């Protein structure tokens, strides 16, 4: 999905431009069971992206995480964001 070169970093910009571009990419990279939420913090002036995966952490996920950050910067043109990956196993949830 194409995103404007410079979108307005607001809740509306996040919802109208970033979310439609990011969610298909998340499903493509992590599968249809992956969930993602995107919020915009007015006080911090940046987006917060949480990706919840229903699997245990794997070594190869570091590269996938790096690719996601690159996609956010280069394709979506998102300059500032906090990105968290949530993994689950049988007994607990943990964050990478």
Q: Give the model confidence (pLDDT) of 29-79 as tens digits.
A: 888 888 888 888 888 888 899 998 888 888 888 898 899 999 999 988 888
Please classify residue 51 by burial: count the beta carbons closer than 10 Å to its beta carbon, then call 0-12 exposed, 13-18 middle and 19+ buried. Answer: buried
Q: What is the pTM assigned to this prediction?
A: 0.77
In this prediction, residue 83 carries a pLDDT of 92
What average pLDDT does this structure show over 12-39? 86
Selection from 25, 3, 34 nearest residue 69 by Cα = 25
Q: What is the CA 52 to chain-centroid distance, rounded? A: 10
Q: Which domains does the chain have, with CATH numbers?
A: 11-95 (3.30.300)
What average pLDDT does this structure show over 6-20? 75
Residue 6, pLDDT above cutoff 80: no
- Work out whether the CA dihedral 7, 67, 45, 35 comes out positive or negative: positive
In this prediction, residue 89 carries a pLDDT of 67
Tokens of 4: 């404007």
């Amino acid at each position: 999905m194409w995103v404007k070169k410079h979108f307005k970093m607001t809740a509306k910009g996040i919802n109208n431009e970033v979310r439609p571009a990011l969610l298909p990419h998340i499903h493509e990279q992590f599968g249809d069971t992956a969930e993602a939420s995107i919020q915009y913090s007015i006080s911090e002036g940046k987006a917060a992206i949480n990706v919840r995966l229903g699997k245990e952490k794997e070594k190869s996920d570091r590269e996938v995480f790096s690719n996601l950050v690159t996609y956010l910067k280069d394709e979506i043109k998102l300059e500032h964001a906090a990105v968290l990956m949530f993994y689950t196993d049988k007994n607990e949830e943990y964050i990478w």
